[in-house]
Amino acid sequence: NNNGADSGWEAKAVEFFKDHLKEKEARTLVPSLNDVPLHYLKPNSLVKFRCLIQDMFDPEFYMGVYETVDPRLKAKVLRCGKYRDVTECGVDFNSRNTVTAERQTFYCVPVPGENTWVKDISSQARVVPSTSYAPSRQKRSYEEDDDMDDMDTQPQKQRETHGGSQTHSEQHHGNGDCKRQETEAPSNQTASASHLDLNFPLPGEKGPSCLVKVYQDWDGFKLNDVLEVFGILSVNHTTSYSSSSLLDPADSMETAEEQRVHCPPASLVPRLHMLYAKPLPHNNPLLPPTGLEDNSAFLSSTLSEMASVRAELLAYFTHVLLGDALAAEYLILHLISTVYARRDVLPLGKFTLNLSGCPTAASYTERLYQIIQQLVPSSFYLPMSLQNMNQMRLVPKKDYVANRLVSGALQLARNTSLFLDETQLEQGQLDTTGVRNVTALGNLISWQKVDYDFNYHQMEFPCNINVVIASEGRSLLPSDCQIRLQSQVAPAHMDEYLSAVHMHPQASSQLNKFRMYLSVARQLDYSISDEVTKSVEDDFVDMRKDDPQSVSAEDFHRLLVVARLLSLSLGQTSLSTDTWSRAKHLDMLRTSRMEQHKCVNGNEP
Amino acid sequence: MSSPTSTPGGRKRDRNTNPSTPSSDGPTSPPSQRRRGQDSSTGDLMPMPTSPATDMLSPAAAQDTSLFSSPRPSVLPNEVDMSSPLISVRGTPARQRADLGSVRKAPQVDLQSEPAGADGAVASESNAGQRLVIWGTDVNVGTCKEKFQRFLQRFIDPTSTEDENAGLDLNEPLYMQKLEEISVVGDPVLNVNCLHVQSFDAELYRQLICYPQEVIPTFDMAVNELFFERFPDSILEYQIQVRPYNALKTRNMRSLNPEDIDQLITISGMVIRTSQLIPEMQEAFFQCHVCAYSTRVEVDRGRIAEPAVCRHCNTTHSLALVHNRSAFSDKQMVKIQESPEDMPAGQTPHTTVVYAHNDLVDKVQPGDRVNITGIYRAVPMRVNPRQSNVKSVYKTHIDAIHFRKTDEKRLHGLDEDAEQKLFTEDRVQTLKELAAKPDVYERLSSALAPSIYEHEDIKKGILLQLFGGTRKDFSQTGRGHFRAEVNILLCGDPGTSKSQLLQYVYNLVPRGQYTSGKGSSAVGLTAYVMKDPETRQLVLQTGALVLSDNGICCIDEFDKMSDNTRSVLHEVMEQQTLSIAKAGIICQLNARTAVLAAANPVESQWNPKKTTIENIQLPHTLLSRFDLIFLMLDPQDEAYDRRLAHHLVSLYYQSEEQMEEEFLDMAVLRDYIAYARTYINPRLSEEASQALIEAYVDMRKIGSGRGMVSAYPRQLESLIRLAEAHAKVRFSEKVETIDVEEAKRLHREALKQSATDPRTGFVDISILTTGMSATARKRKEEVAQALKKLIQSKGKTPAMKYQQLLEDLRGQSETAITRELFDEALRALADEDYLTVTGKTVRLLA
């Protein structure tokens, strides 16, 4: 069946990969671009990549099926152009059998703000890929594995039916390439990348970015989706931009800038031809990668432990938050919150926390962030200093010269924790950028959306980012819930206490428990029974009866979210009246504390 | 290729007289190369039994056939410059059509015959001509030409509403009138609407779409023959070029796919970048170093075939290119980006490269919204000229044939909505069914922002705002445009979901803008002049108000806006224009925008004891420009609370599907509004006018009883607008009494909320129009008089203590006198120049 694209073998091959990759073992056997340096990976082999779609380029047309002419044999051979960048020698452009097909390119970057513990844990399970120089032990084990072997050779087999002897020579060539690269390429990729802006959303990010070529259903992907892509790696240097390609008159119409961005050196930005991509609901390596509903055993075991883990976590947070148990409760609720639905413009489930009254001494906020960083899969610390606000690029902006979306710090994956440190803000003048940045942060908090700047117009991208604001007084940004930190520590001992907080890092098993707890709690389903609905409604009416001013519709909105999060944090998937009253009690404690510290700066309450 | 071009300007009639050269030329341009991208689609036509050379016949060739008993292969494989009709009719030069691509050589037969003769020949030879087509297509030049001429001569579109046809007699053949226009104006471009071609001859349309590269030159020939036959004496700069537009092939950039390659497409988008002008060589001029013999070589697919041997002196490699004697044409790269409306959510917009040629260069500027008609091209990319490997990717671009700016219409003020939203039959049917329901008004208003609870009247008001009134033009009678847009102000306690309502509206309407009073300056609202970094020219950047022309501008935190910024709104909210005089640019922009504003009370909590003006501290001049002012207060009763609680809980815990069942889809609502705004223009009926008059008289009467004016013409205008909008909701072309009733009710509701005098409990319009209720004014007057008397009774004291005076007045008066009241009275007296207040002392002036 070598009659080109129509015969259906392509679909079968892709199906084959999908089926095998669904098995858990097979997944882990595929080497990952995230962990393994690029020069250790064999070109044209199957790799995986955990990434965020940062930009979508224009669709491109390529030769899906083409014919080559061998000048010696005068033989014409039909070849498949899918899953590769470059055609083989002697393409007959006049052939009538050429089929032009369409594919889409995504520019993907590693998940922004992914914390080191996530990287460490995922790379422990990493596969050392087979290369020509790798220790023989590993190589054998890899080749002995039937499953894996089968997969890897599959495309070659398919190609063989088309290309005949060509495949083998090319295969050797590929290995040779790899060997050469290994000797040449410095192990630190980022050093050589410095001249090229790889467009990471957050400053100081490392890791390979990737041009992912998508062959089907690209409309299903959205910007900022987090995916695990399985595909064929291609590091063919001819796809890179080089000044010599300017010789072609047709190319000169594109700016050099645009070429540089769209065809970066393949050694830095490899091409990945996607066979299969799995959207990741989370990037916590401790959890099974599939949805929770498929893992009932795992779910029931974690659920039973949740209450006890919660108590430990609460104690830990209370300690960290200067002995304030109430603030610790709210911090837990915040960390498991997520936007679970949207009703017209209203995002439901968001729970932005403003932690006011943070001590400025001993860089307390930074320490607090470091603790959060240890617990959530991805996070970002944004000191709101005047300089940062005036200079940082928060909102992604389209660069029409290079024809790409220049990323900004607010281009984040779902459920990333954004820690805004307002204690760093001093008096001074915000310039235009500063005002825009503050507005963008406000929009992010209120509507969970970021308006990307497309120069002639703005485009709204919904997001799902957990924002926590640490401030001294009430924050200038809006928030869903403000809690004033009440230190139980005497001011005299503050410095001592603070430096001690971080002296006792938790055991890693303990930390792993917390990490798992926070991620699981966020994934749980939640419902509310009719009876409880009724009693909640009655409660609201009663509260309003006593004092209409005491609880507004907005307060009720918040109470419902708090009740939801409180239930989930206890591992209960439906609201009970107990939890409802506990939620009310929590909120009451919080508001009464607010009364004491009533701020009188004229801001809207 | 050298011989036809050996004589300068020789691309005319002499081709067929030189039979030997064309035959040798034939193989140099294998058509297969040209038609590569299309092979799959035309495959069924390919297996013609004859070779490409003999495939080619056209009427003229057919004529040859009739003269000579058999076609002579040596004569037939002629090449014709497909980019322009070869015939140089009456000395008018042909101009190369770079827009039809770099390949201009197609095996084709010369059109030698006189137009009249050709017509006859086509008729007689039509049977033979049917089978003879251009290589790789099913286009027969003769038939095609004839059909197009027939189209030009006969096509009539009595219902045309396009601007282009303004001033033409719609019952006469449209394009003949256009030709006449060309003969008068001398601009040799004929724009042809593809829809017209389609309705006239579907087959011709299909050919035009599939083989534009061949069909358009044929059209050119046809139109020139016709034109010069009709207007033999007219002088044109060059021959007429046909520019088809509005091809229905593709509307959206996202749906371009490999099947569209080499076809005529129309896409809409926004220009984001234009390049410098690129001179593209069309014809290279070579001169021999030895004997100074010169020759011209046409550029073929971007390559110049440099002659190796001088044909005059036979020296090899002696010819040198002379740049300034070569012929160039203009070319410009234009980048187009998908318009935001066409995009699925969560994806980034696509871009496409467009090449504009000759006079289309510089027709568009970055930021313009355009519809582009052109030929979609794909060119393979060579990685490196020295490498045989190629990247398996094609570069795609569009060769533009026609640009049409979609927002051009804004220049003419009278036009209806610029958006020409297309509705399918089904959709229109659904919308009409919906409109026929008796409770459509309630349905739509409850579909608006379902997450916000109750506030039914406010939602109804906003609904009417979304539809807007009918635009009227009274410029002839000196009044100018009447505002059709309804302006609404929401005020009330913080946390009553005002912002949410604004966000919803902003997301609903296609041309909505959302700004916050805190964050926007006058400049951000209006327009500013900036220097374009690329071209260094001054560009007018428009702000939110201008951008939301024909849309709604949502302004949050209206009260936080600086006075300076707010003053801009005065002009916009009544005259609907914006005047700019800045950096040498003086202009008036249209800002026919409805304003939806939200304001918080000054004291953070609404004070029911104060009037609206006192609560929000906005100038009454601005307030009176709002048609409806609503208070969003927290009503405090148990039944309401219960419903609210239920609403909120279900909002949080109902599943997505349940919600959708209950409410109308946002998309339906959006279409409904767009349809009504575009197609429905209600006019007042006799009864409705009567009802309006009555309503207005009633309103004035209410006040006159208490000695105050309670309605102004502005209120009448508001009523008319609201009634019209309500008629639009019903899809009714006539404003009827029920519309007026609802307008009255809503207006009254809004007044009841916002213009109730807290002292008397009466609705008092003067609170909004003058900033003070009539009773308050009366009271102020009284106090001032009492104070004056008091001071006069004190005798000749030039100065008094403020506190003392206040206490004296309090002691004297039977009603309580607040400090504010006292201050006001003092101010009133100061205005009379009776006294002056300095610090804590009051001095008499008289």
Has residue B476 got a pLDDT over 70?
Answer: no
Over residues A343-365, the mean pLDDT reads 82
From A239, A536, A557, residue closest to B391, measured CB to CB: A239
Which of B216, B245, B274 represents a domain boundary (last residue)?
B245
Residue B543: what pLDDT?
A: 67
Q: Which residue of chain A comes nearest to B503, CA vs CA?
A: A345
Among chain B residues, the shortest Cα distance to A538 is held by: B642
Q: Is residue B239 part of a domain?
A: yes
Q: Which domain holds residue B797?
A: 772-844
Inside any domain, residue A46: yes
- Asked if the C-beta of A62 comes within 8 angstroms of chain B's C-beta atoms, the answer is yes
pLDDT of residue B73: 39
CA distance A281 to chain B (A): 17
Domain assignment of residue B111, yes or no = no
- What is the average pLDDT across A557-569? 88
Q: What is the mean pLDDT of residues A538-550?
A: 76
Structural element, H or E, at residue B539: strand B538-542
- Across the range A310-319, mean pLDDT stands at 87
Asked whether the beta carbons of A480 and A558 are under 8 A apart, the reply is yes
B678-733 tens-digit pLDDT: 777 888 888 888 888 888 887 777 655 554 555 677 778 888 888 888 888 888 88
Mean pLDDT for B23-37 is 37
Give per-residue pLDDT as tens, B196-244.
Answer: 888 888 888 888 888 888 888 888 888 888 888 888 777 777 788 888 8
Percent of the residues in chain B that have a pLDDT greater than 90, as a whole number: 0
At B9, is the pLDDT very low, low, confident or very high (cuts 50, 70, 90)?
Answer: very low
- Regarding whether B332 and B237 lie in a shared domain, the answer is no
Three-class secondary structure assignment of A151-220: HHHHHHHHHHHHHCCHHHHHHHHHHHHHHHHHHHCCCCHHHHHCCCCCCCCCCCCCCCCEEEEECCCHHH
Q: Are residues B216 and B280 in the same domain?
A: no
| CATH code of the domain in which B278 resides | 2.40.50.140
Which residue is closest to A537 within chain B, CA to CA?
B645
- Whether residue B465 is contained in a domain is answered as no
A346: pLDDT strictly greater than 50: yes
In a domain, A185, yes or no: yes
pLDDT in tens, B449-465: 777 777 778 888 888 88
CA nearest to A458 within chain B: B340
Q: What is the pLDDT of residues B366-398, one digit of tens each?
A: 777 788 888 888 877 655 545 555 667 788 888
Strands of B685-768, DSSP E: 734-735
Size of interface A-B (CB pairs under 8 A): 209
CB A440 within 8 A of CB A410: yes
Contact with chain A for residue B381, Cβ under 8 A: yes
Cα distances from B158 to residues A112, B161, B172, in angstroms, run: 61, 9, 8
Give the residue from chain B lying closest to A557, CA to CA: B648
Binary contact (B391, A223; C-beta < 8 A) = no
Is pLDDT larger for residue B462 or for residue A172? B462
The answer for A 389-408 residues in CB contact with B (under 8 A) is 398, 400-401, 403, 405
B276 touches chain A (CB under 8 A): no
CA angle B395, B400, B405 (to 5 degrees): 125
Query: What pLDDT, on a 0 to 100 scale, did the predictor assign at position B480?
Result: 59
Verify whether the Cβ–Cβ distance B495 to A552 is below 8 Å: yes
Of all residues in chain B, the one with the smallest CA distance to A89 is: B389
pLDDT at B288: 83
- Stronger pLDDT, A221 or B95, i.e. the higher one: A221
* B273 neighbourhood in chain A, CB within 8 Å: 400-401
Contact A540 B641 (CB under 8 A): yes
Which of A86, A338, A345, A411 is the mutation pick for testing B, counting most B CBs within 10 A? A345
Q: What is the mean pLDDT of chain B?
A: 69
Residue-by-residue DSSP string for B286-347: EEETTT--EEEEE-BTTB----SB-TTT--BT-EEE-GGGSEEEEEEEEEEE--GGGSPTTS
Give the domain-ending residue among B215, B245, B275.
B245
Q: Examine residue A239 and state whether it is found in any structural domain, yes or no.
A: yes
Most confident of A274-278, B132-136, B425-429: A274-278
The answer to the question of residue A68 being in a domain is no
B303-334 pLDDT, tens digit per residue, is 777 777 787 787 777 788 888 888 888 888 88
Is B367 touching A (CB cutoff 8 A)?
yes
B484 falls within a domain = no
- How close B189 comes to chain A (CA, Å)? 28
The Cα B410–Cα B427 span in angstroms is 27
For A268, the domain range is 24-62+101-279
Check pLDDT > 50 for residue B351.
Answer: yes
Distant-in-sequence, close-in-space partners of B164: CB < 8 Å, separation ≥ 6: B191
Angstroms from A498 CA to nearest CA on chain B: 38
Is the pLDDT confidence value at A132 over 70? no
Of B367, B378, B645, the CB nearest to A537: B645
pLDDT of residue B120: 38
Summarised one tens digit per residue, pLDDT across range A387-396 is 888 888 889 9
Nearest-5° angle of CA A356, CA A362, CA A363?
60
pLDDT surpasses 80 at B171: no
Minimal Cα–Cα distance from A528 to chain B, Å? Answer: 7
Residue B718 lies in a domain: no
Contact between B451 and A541 using a beta-carbon 8 Å cutoff: no
Choose among B261, B345, B645: nearest Cβ to A540.
B645
Give the model confidence (pLDDT) of A246-288 as tens digits. 444 444 455 667 777 777 777 788 888 888 888 888 888 887 7
Same domain, yes or no: B231 and B268: no
Q: Is the pLDDT of residue B105 over 50?
A: no
Is A320 a member of any domain? no
Q: Which pLDDT score, from 0 to 100, does residue B538 have?
A: 61
A144 touches chain B (CB under 8 A): no
Nearest to A528 among B350, B355, B653 (CB): B653
Q: Is residue B692 part of a domain?
A: no
Q: What does the pLDDT read at residue B702?
A: 64
B233 is a domain residue: yes
How distant is the Cα of B838 from the closest Cα of chain A, in angstroms? 30
- CB contact, 8 Å: B294 with chain A? no
Contact A462 B346 (CB under 8 A): yes
- Over the stretch A461-486, which tens digit does the pLDDT of each residue have? 888 999 999 888 888 888 888 888 88
The answer to whether A358 and B662 have CB atoms below 8 angstroms apart is no
| B337 and B381 together in one domain | yes
Is residue B746 a part of any domain in this protein? Answer: no
Are residues A548 and B656, on separate chains, in Cβ contact within 8 Å?
no
Set of chain B residues whose Cβ sits within 8 Å of the Cβ of A94: 30, 32-33, 36
Intra-chain end-to-end CA distance of chain A, in Å: 72
Q: Same domain, yes or no, for B270 and B379?
A: yes
Residue B77 has pLDDT above 50, yes or no: no
CA distance B376 to B397: 6
Mean pLDDT of chain A: 75
- In this prediction, residue B10 has a pLDDT band, given cuts at 50, 70 and 90, of very low
Q: Hey, are the CB atoms on B273 and A245 less than 8 Å from each other?
A: no
* Side chain identity at residue A591, one-letter code: T
In A, which residues are within 8 Å of B641 by CB distance?
A: 540-541, 544-545
The answer on B309 and B198 residing in a single domain is: no
DSSP string over B211-249 = -HHHHHHHHHHHHHHHHHHH-TT---SS--EEEEE--SS
Interval A40-89: pLDDT, tens: 888 888 888 889 999 988 888 888 888 877 777 777 777 777 887 777 66
Pairwise CA distance, residues B283 & A26, whole Å: 62
pLDDT band at A423 (very low <50, low <70, confident <90, very high): confident
User: Are B274 and B336 found together in one domain?
Assistant: yes
B755 or A591, greater pLDDT:
A591
Average pLDDT over residues B737-741: 82
3-state SS, residue B413: coil
pLDDT at A334: 92
Lowest mean pLDDT among A215-219, A496-500, B145-149: A496-500
Q: Chain B contact for A507, CB < 8 A? A: no
Mark whether B234 and B302 lie in a shared domain. Answer: no
Return residues 511-570 of A near B (CB < 8 Å): 527-528, 533, 536-537, 540-541, 544-545, 548, 552-554, 556-557, 560-561, 564
Give the domain-ending residue among B405, B434, B451.
B405
Query: How many angstroms separate the CA of residue A157 from the nearest CA in chain B?
Result: 21
For A585-589, B247-251, B836-840, which range has the lowest pLDDT when averaged over its residues? B247-251
Q: How confident is the model at residue B117 (pLDDT cuts 50, 70, 90)?
A: very low
pLDDT at A165: 37
Q: pLDDT grade, residue B577 (50/70/90)?
A: confident
Report yes or no on A137 lying in a domain. Answer: yes
Chain A residues close to B653, C-beta within 8 Å: 527-528, 533
* Residues of chain A numbered 7-46 and touching chain B (CB < 8 Å): none
Where residue A291 falls among pLDDT bands split at 50, 70, 90?
Answer: low
* Closest CB from B36, B353, B450 relative to A94: B36
Q: How far is B217 from chain A (nearest CA, A)?
A: 25
Q: From chain B, pick out residues whose CB is under 8 angstroms from the CB of A401.
A: 273
Is some CB atom of chain A closer than 8 A to the CB atom of B270? yes
Are B222 and B349 part of one and the same domain?
no
CB contact under 8 A, B503 and A447: yes
Are A476 and A312 in contact by the 8 Å Cβ rule? The answer is: no
> Does B270 share its domain with B390?
yes
Q: What's the mean pLDDT in A559-586?
A: 88
Q: Residue B597: in which H helix or E strand, if any?
A: strand B594-599
Q: Which residues of B touch A403 (CB under 8 A)?
A: 335, 351
Distance CA B820, CA A585 (A): 44
Determine the straight-line distance between the first and last CA of chain B, rounded to whole angstroms.
Answer: 106
A346 near B CB under 8 A = yes
Minimal Cα–Cα distance from B788 to chain A, Å? 39
Chain B contact set for A342 (CB, 8 A): none
Tell whether B697 lies on the interface with A, counting CB pairs under 8 A: no
Stated pTM of the model: 0.71
Count of domains for chain A: 1
CA distance A63 to chain B (A): 5
| Total tally of structural domains belonging to chain B | 3
Provide φ and ψ at A211, rounded to 5°: -95, 110
Q: Does any domain span residue A383?
A: no
CB distance A100–B497 less than 8 Å?
Answer: no
Nearest to A541 among B340, B348, B642 (CB): B642
Pair B651, A348: CB distance under 8 Å: yes
The phi and psi torsions of A158 (rounded to 5 degrees) equal: -60, -40
Query: Do A551 and A543 form a contact (C-beta atoms < 8 A)?
Result: yes
